[in-house]
Amino acid sequence: MTYDADTGLLLLDTPHTSYSAYVGREDDIPIHTYWGPPITAEDAAYLATSTAERLASQWACFRSAANRHEEYPLDGGLQFGRAALSVEFPGAVRTIEWRLARHEITAGPGHQELALWFEARHQELTVTLYYRVYDDSDVIDRSVVVRNDSTTDAVDVHRLDSAAWVTPEQPRHRMTHLTGRWAAETQVRRTDLTDGHLVLESRRGITSHHANPWFAIDDGTATEESGRVYSATLHWSGSWRMLAQRELDEPAQVLFGWGHEGFGPRRLEPGEVLKTPVSSGLFTADGFGAMSHAWHEYALRHVLPNSGELRPVLFNSWEATGFDVDEAGQRALARQAADLGCELFVLDDGWFGRRSGDQAGLGDWWVNTGRFPRGLKPLIDEVHALGMGFGLWIEPEMVNPDSDLYRAHPEWTYHYAGREPHTMRHQLVLNLARPDVAEWVFGELDALLSANDIQFVKWDMNRPFTDTGWPEQPDRQGRLWLDHVTGVYGVIDALRRKHPGVAFEACSGGGGRVDFGIMARTDQFWPSDNTDALDRRYIQHGFSHLYPARTMSCWVTDLPTFINKRRVPLSYRFHVAMAGVLGIGGDLNAWTAEETEEARRLIAQYKEIRHIVQHGRLHRLGEPGRSASAVQYVTADQKESVVLVYQEAQQYDSNPAPIRLRGLAPEGGYRVDGGAVLSGALLMGHGITPQLTGDYASTLIRLELLA
């Protein structure tokens, strides 16, 4: 990482890429020049000079010379596109001009960080651009800090993006992104960027039911194994916006940050500092597969806590009992789960308050003594005696109007004065932007974890924001979209510090909060409420583009599924769920002896291979569809590999075509399922032919490298 104060030249080097920009001498506007395979300092200097000359020679009567090349575009001046930073100063002034005041490069364990401090020329405002690079990753982290230096005047922040990512001029800009809805999250979509704007965002206060905060851009030719891909994500768990903009013969510029269109403004008081979440960017030269590998490794090394752990096989009681829970029933389920080989027992909804259905009790986090007369301790003790950890479902950001909490504090919810708030699922959202509410939530959960020996918390959040008023603090309404999320972060961070032995799962009506922001403070995601095995193939396929299998919680549930009433074999359901962190969510009381025995065998098999699945490199071998496809995992030393093969439908009498594997040692000999020994070269060049017959057929293949 270098920055030359004399020339304004910025060069960031990662293990396999370079990134360069320069700060213009006349206006101090940083101009992006390069992002790709490694270059030298001399190359970067040439690019700065040639880019400056090119921009200066353009006919600029109708656009800024720097148009779409800005490293961080500002509102005002000759900027006609969307700005990454838009601030309204006293007098309704919305334009910013700045000068570079200083820079600093610092080093930490395994990383370097560059800070560029810019001061507004006509207002009292400081804007700092941060860059971070790692010794072991090609990911570049970027963020921005804004400080109101005035001692008297507040300013309104209308837009504050974490980064503007510039991809090079090329004939075609194809964007890949993840979209969907409840029960159909993380669907892969690809679209060409045309002249103008493309906006993806969440306006719900949560991240990712309908779009996930991630994108990838290529020239339309990239495949799993080849092609240049530029991608970025946002470490944030609330509303966000990604805006891609381009004009004829210009690069594509993507603005990425928190807060949806029209969320604010966010008032910045005198002396106040506001720091954006991180946006991370990545260039890879070898297709979408290499892109995913780099993101997974970055997540495991630099984002996910306790990433080296193996996640246990869990049993969750929800589908077995619904709200009809009591101590005796849960004890019986725990004994059955332990007999199957489960390692974690999770008591879901219905254990607290006056909770007999979804219309009451949320917010009353005291144990229902009618159902658990002696509290949770006897159940927890039995679960531990059976050799399992104990987990609990909670939904701390919600409240039912029919609850002791709401009757005592109706003002703690988002609402508008004089209007009846809209309920969804009979729920309202607690205003965790209020420090007193966040403090109360922490106190309730801290007391719960302190009084009970709990190893796992499933943190749910089942409805988006509506009626986003704060009548007692009307000038703070623009803050709540941001401050609610930081309030949630603060509660979870404090709980983890005080209870380091407790793991957390992030859930939001399924995959409504799947992002790097919540990943940094939880141990796994619940990707979707949809547990239908075929639908999960598509959900998990999209999920894998950014998020590692180690974070993906997958359940085997009963038939027919509540989503679409589909019936598929138990082995297929298991093989789909074994592609991540395996869980069981069915009613064990209704399982036959044959199903129980098959489940016991498959759970034992998963325990043998989970170190490969949860920590190996993931390869997508085809896409879900009618023909056979697979997901492969390979350990870092290439000594072990697992292949999960799926055939959704057999057509005519055709057998599956050979599936070419990846990531093996070409010269090595691999024993396949304890039988034949084949070379890595053959397995990757010709492939392996799965023996599958019929619909919803699947198999697990294990390979071991011979010494």
Annotated binding site for substrate: 182, 348-349, 425, 458-462, 507, 529
Work out whether strand 428-429 and strand 456-459 pair parallel, antiparallel, or are unpaired: unpaired
- Of 467, 375, 469, the C-alpha closest to 422 is 467
475 is catalytic: no
Per-residue tokens: 5? 């104060």
Q: DSSP alpha helices (H): ranges in 183-317?
A: 287-302
460 is catalytic: yes
Could you tell me if 307 and 301 are in contact, meaning their C-beta atoms sit under 8 angstroms apart?
yes
Q: Which residues of 255-277 are buried (b: 16+ CB within 10 A; e: fewer)?
A: bbbbbbeebbbbbbeeeeebebb
Strands (E), 383-455: 389-394, 398-399, 428-429
Could you tell me if 299 and 551 are in contact, meaning their C-beta atoms sit under 8 angstroms apart?
yes
CA distances from residue 86 to 42, 76, 96, 127, 309 in whole angstroms, order as listed? 35, 8, 8, 12, 43
Residue 399: phi, psi to the nearest 5? -150, 140
Give the residue ranges of the annotated binding site. 182, 348-349, 425, 458-462, 507, 529
Other beta carbons within 10 angstroms of residue 435's beta carbon come to 11
- Of 576, 637, 635, 627, the C-alpha closest to 606 is 576
CA distance 209 to 57: 46
CA distances from residue 388 to 273, 331, 348, 441, 606 in whole angstroms, order as listed? 46, 12, 16, 27, 17
Specify burial of residue 151 (Cβ count, 10 A radius: 0-12, 13-18, 19+): exposed
The strand pairing partners of 232, in sequence order, are 215, 281
Other beta carbons within 10 angstroms of residue 212's beta carbon come to 29
CA distance 33 to 405: 56
CA distance 187 to 105: 40
Q: Which of 13, 141, 161, 460 is catalytic?
A: 460
CA distance 2 to 94: 33
**SS3 label, residue 650:** coil
Q: Which of 529, 532, 535, 558 is catalytic?
A: 529
Non-local CB neighbours of 107 within 8 Å, separated by 6+ positions:
113
- Of 21, 117, 130, the C-alpha closest to 69 is 21
Catalytic machinery residues:
460, 529
